[in-house]
Amino acid sequence: MIQPRTLKGFRDHLPAQALARERLLEVARRIYRSYAFAPIDTPALEYLEVLTGKGSDETDKQLYRFVDHGGREVGMRFDLTVPFARFAAQHAHELGLPFKRYHMATVWRGENTQRGRYREFMQCDFDTIGTTSPVADLEMVLVVHDLLAAIGLERFTIRINDRRVLAGILERLGLAGQATGVLRSLDKLAKAGPEKVAAELAEQGVAEAATTTLLEMAQLTGPNAEVLPRLADLAGEGRGGAGVAALEGIVAGAQAAGVPSGRLVIDPGIARGLDYYTGIVLESFLDELPSLGSVCSGGRYDNLAGLYTKQPLPGVGASLGIDRLLAGLEELGQAPARETPAELFLAHFDPAHVNDYLAIAAALRQAGIAVEFFPEPRKLGQQLKLADKRGIPAALVIGSDEFKGGTAQFKDMAAQTAATIDWQGDIATLVAAVRERLAGTAAG
């Protein structure tokens, strides 16, 4: 016998998890479309040269790569942004610019597993490409806010920074040539702490005074109105000043669009570990689970597509980490426990009326009600126990006596109550009554 098992970092999704994931995807799809983002898809496999050297040395090491049957070196995508840059370079003449897309698909990274982090996971991206407008940057922030709010989260914080601020400070410190390593070290500040980051910077040859300035910058906290002028003093003019001005615009625009005060925070410690970011960077955290890490991250990348085409294709976008967010929702007890999409359980009570049951189930489904009709005439208690286990909110029981009398029993599974529906053999009447009672069950 072959032992049934899954690879480390990979997992099966049981119905409750899969349904919760689908709900998040449906919400994301609705929010993305409300901003006029259009769906695309790309292959799971890309030529290796498309993927390597685009994220970081770490993502290159994590790539699943192999030689295919045609002798080509290929890799499995580690995110959806790099394939999108290739996609945009290849199809820009067909799309028209600027172009807004969303993409929901699986990606793979051979990294160490941890809470909410797997080797196979789903990303849920949206991007605007073909414009450097600060409106596109602001829209990214607004989409993230609307998305997390629509999921039902109330306590979350969107933290933003601008890579130009960091670049400006590095230039003033004489560290422009070491930007990649320094920014990767700073990006570890929240998890590793200042002492380990300082030690890592020292290993890179960063002077103690420069390290002090960098850590001071990265740990600036307080209201945005207080952080911005302090950040401006550190960043100076030029690129750093442009980054601070961009952050001021984002804060003002978000306020004008109705983002509640306190949900958008300027955090100079946000650097993002991927090398392709050039402007605004963003990370989002659940206030009750900050150690979980960012559940929605992104930023501006103006040069990524330049690796594939001479046509300027600046972009900005973010990605919702479906699996990490689900892990957080489960930990907070906010993930739905239902194991089925069924809204109503239709008990199979009398096998002589199987065609009547089928007709009723069909009418209910045509009315938009998801129905599970039990396939076998088992004991009613067994059927209702299964319906309850799956989290179906209501059950409809029609036995021989009910068919004769033109009645049905509607059972509220959560409240453990029952009510009689008088339908007198008219299915339309039965459907209308069930719909009304289901609405009451959902409201309760």
* β strands within 26-98, DSSP E: 38-39, 45-47, 65-67, 73-76
For residues 55 and 179, membership in a common domain is answered with yes
Domain containing residue 180 = 15-331
**Which of 259, 257, 297 has its CA nearest to residue 281?**
297
Residue 338 lies in a domain: no
- Note the maximum CA span of the chain: 90
Residue 233 lies in a domain: yes
DSSP lists the bridge partners of residue 280 as 162
Question: Where does residue 424 rank: exposed (0-12), middle (13-18), buried (19+ CB within 10 A)?
Answer: exposed
CATH number of 397's domain? 3.40.50.800
For residues 142 and 82, membership in a common domain is answered with yes
For residues 38 and 144, membership in a common domain is answered with yes
CA torsion angle 156 157 163 164 (round to 10): 150
CATH number of 70's domain? 3.30.930.10
Residue 7 lies in a domain: no
Residue 24 lies in a domain: yes
For residues 275 and 424, membership in a common domain is answered with no
Residue 41 lies in a domain: yes
For residues 72 and 221, membership in a common domain is answered with yes
At residue 177, the pLDDT reads 85
The answer to whether 42 and 87 have CB atoms below 8 angstroms apart is yes
For residues 115 and 164, membership in a common domain is answered with yes
For residues 90 and 217, membership in a common domain is answered with yes
For residues 123 and 261, membership in a common domain is answered with yes
- Helix axes of 194-203 and 208-218: crossing angle, nearest 10 degrees: 140
- If one counts the domains in the chain, the total is 2
For residues 96 and 153, membership in a common domain is answered with yes
For residues 319 and 414, membership in a common domain is answered with no
At residue 183, the pLDDT reads 80
Enter the tokens of residue 274: 């991927």
- For residue 109, the Cα-to-chain-centroid distance in whole angstroms is 17
For residues 306 and 400, membership in a common domain is answered with no
Segment-wise mean pLDDT, segments of 10 residues, the chain, 444 residues: 94 90 95 98 96 82 95 95 92 93 96 80 95 97 98 95 90 86 83 89 91 88 93 89 96 96 91 81 95 92 88 94 89 82 94 96 97 94 94 94 95 93 96 93 55
Residue 293 lies in a domain: yes
Apex 226 CA angle, 225 and 232, nearest 5: 95
Residue 5 lies in a domain: no
How far apart CA 82 and CA 62 sit, in angstroms, is 15
Q: What is the DSSP letter of 365?
A: H
At residue 16, the pLDDT reads 87
For residues 232 and 377, membership in a common domain is answered with no
Which one of 285, 307, 331 terminates a domain? 331
At residue 444, the pLDDT reads 43
At residue 128, the pLDDT reads 97
Which one of 331, 361, 389 terminates a domain? 331
Residue 339 lies in a domain: no
